[in-house]
Amino acid sequence: MFKAGANDTTKGAFLFDDAAAQSVMAAANAHSVDLMVDLEHLSLDQESRSYDPDARAWLSLEVRPGPELWAVNVRWTDDGARRLPAKTQRYISPAFAVDDENRVIEIVNIALTAM
C-alpha cells in the first residue's frame, strides 16, 4: 500500500518511514480488528446518498523491510471476489490520516475502486 519514503499521489506526496510504520501499526493494534475493504470509499460518509457500509474484503496490515506497508491475509467477500475477475473494480485506494508533515499515521480503510 505504501512504499518507503515519499508516495506521490494525485492528492500530494505522503511519507511512509519508520515513524509512520510505528504509528500505523500502533493504531491498527489499538483497534484489534481487521480492516475492511469497501467499495469506492462508500462506507466513509453516512450522509451520502450512495452510502454503502458493506465490506468487500477483510485484511490485516504488515510492515515489511524498507519500511513498506502491505495488506496481508486478505479475505474477499463473495461480492468483492466477483468484482475482480469481472474488472468492474481493479484498484485499491487507502483512506488514511496524516500528521503535519504528511506522514501516514493511520489507515482508516481501503477501497476497491475503478480509478
- Along the 115 residues of the chain, how does pLDDT read in single tens digits? 999 999 999 999 999 999 999 999 999 999 889 999 999 999 999 999 999 999 999 999 999 999 999 999 999 999 999 999 999 999 999 999 999 999 999 999 999 999 8
Cβ(55)–Cβ(77) below 8 Å: yes
**Dihedrals φ, ψ of 61, to 5°?**
-105, 150
pLDDT score, position 37: 98
Model-wide pTM > 0.75: yes
CA trace torsion 55, 97, 69, 102 (10° rounding): 150
pLDDT score, position 97: 98
